[in-house]
Amino acid sequence: MSGLYDYSIATQLHGVPFDALVMAAMLRADTHNLNLLARAFPALAGEVRARYEAPGGALPTAPTS
């Protein structure tokens, strides 16, 4: 279980796109949780991997936004 602090922070994340939250979770996850997230969101996991390895996170074939 997380706790009051985590819940409090979560309530302050207004306007943050869902995909950004999932990507942030993937970047900070341990191996087990990363695998769970990657199974649940395979397209986002692939994008995170590709952007992690790309200079500045920019993919040559994708828009910057």
Q: Which residues, other chains included, contact 52 with Cβ-Cβ below 8 Å and sequence gap of 6+?
A: 27
Q: Can you give the pLDDT at residue 8?
A: 96
The C-alpha angle with vertex 56 and arms to 50 and 60, in degrees rounded to 5, equals 60
Residues in the chain: 65
Does the structure show a pLDDT above 80 at 65? no
Phi then psi for residue 22, to 5 deg, are: -65, -45
Residues 3-57: pLDDT tens digits? Answer: 999 999 999 999 999 999 999 999 999 999 999 999 999 999 999 999 999 999 9
Helix (H, G, I), strand (E, B) or coil at 9: helix
Q: Can you give the pLDDT at residue 2?
A: 85
Domain assignments of the chain as residue spans, ordered by start:
16-57
Q: Can you give the pLDDT at residue 7?
A: 95
